[in-house]
């Protein structure tokens, strides 16, 4: 049997209100069609139930101020973590601070090698002009009309 302290009724009410508020915040921030980015997460817990006895509770939690807010920035994951203490309740929520692009649907995804091939083909086609075909009969007739063909023939005959 554990000797941990039980949660107070006021703490349970605060945790319920906070849970509803954070659930709405998460829904409107991450699940709406306008902003379909999952960059918010939260966790709510009771500080009193983590203490083993009343003496430990008085030493660790009760001596702290009623409201404390701390901000931690994690450089590796580019995430901002907020730790909030309200009475005997603890709230931890995190926000990813970089901007994400909307996710590409699964049926439109292609392997990277295919994307590279398509991009190389597109660049090659756009940088090279189409080959010109020459109709020799038309070229010869045009040169004869200009008199150029006759002059070349006269040079070769002499």
Report pLDDT digits (tens) over 11-23: 899 999 999 999 9
Beta strands in 12-147 (DSSP E): 40-46, 67-74, 79-86, 89-96
Strand pairing partners for 80? 73, 95
Q: Which pLDDT value is given to residue 104?
A: 61
Q: Which pLDDT value is given to residue 129?
A: 63
Q: Is 61 helix (H, G, I), strand (E, B) or coil?
A: helix
Residue with tokens 């906070």: 18
Q: What's the whole-number mean pLDDT along residues 109-115?
A: 68
Q: Supply φ then ψ for residue 68, to 5 degrees.
A: -135, 135
- Whether 99 shows a pLDDT value over 60: the answer reads no
More confident: 96 or 90:
90
- Kindly report which listed range (15-19, 53-57, 98-102) carries the lowest average pLDDT score: 98-102
Closest CA to 28 of 44, 40, 46, 19: 40
Taking the C-alpha atoms of residue 4 and residue 58, their distance in angstroms, rounded to an integer, is: 13
Q: Which pLDDT value is given to residue 122?
A: 77
Q: What's the whole-number mean pLDDT along residues 85-114?
A: 73
Q: Is 2 helix (H, G, I), strand (E, B) or coil?
A: coil
Global pTM reads 0.56
1 band by pLDDT with thresholds 50, 70 and 90 = very low
Q: Which pLDDT value is given to residue 15?
A: 92
Q: Please say whether the beta carbons of 90 and 81 come within 8 A.
A: no
């Amino acid at each position: 049997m554990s000797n941990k302290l039980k949660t107070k009724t006021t703490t349970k009410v605060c945790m319920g209100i906070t849970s509803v508020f954070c659930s709405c915040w998460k829904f409107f921030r991450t699940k709406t069609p306008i902003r379909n980015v999952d960059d918010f997460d939260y966790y709510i817990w009771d500080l009193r139930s983590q203490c083993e006895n009343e003496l430990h509770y008085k030493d660790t939690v009760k001596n702290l101020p009623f409201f404390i807010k701390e901000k931690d920035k994690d450089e590796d994951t580019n995430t901002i973590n907020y730790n909030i203490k309200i009475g005997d309740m603890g709230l931890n929520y995190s926000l990813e601070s970089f901007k994400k692009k909307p996710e590409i649907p699964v049926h439109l995804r292609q392997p990277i090698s295919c994307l590279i091939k398509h991009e190389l083909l597109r660049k090659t086609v756009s940088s090279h002009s189409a080959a010109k075909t020459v109709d020799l009969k038309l070229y010869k007739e045009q040169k004869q009309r200009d008199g150029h063909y006759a002059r070349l023939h006269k040079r070769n005959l002499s």
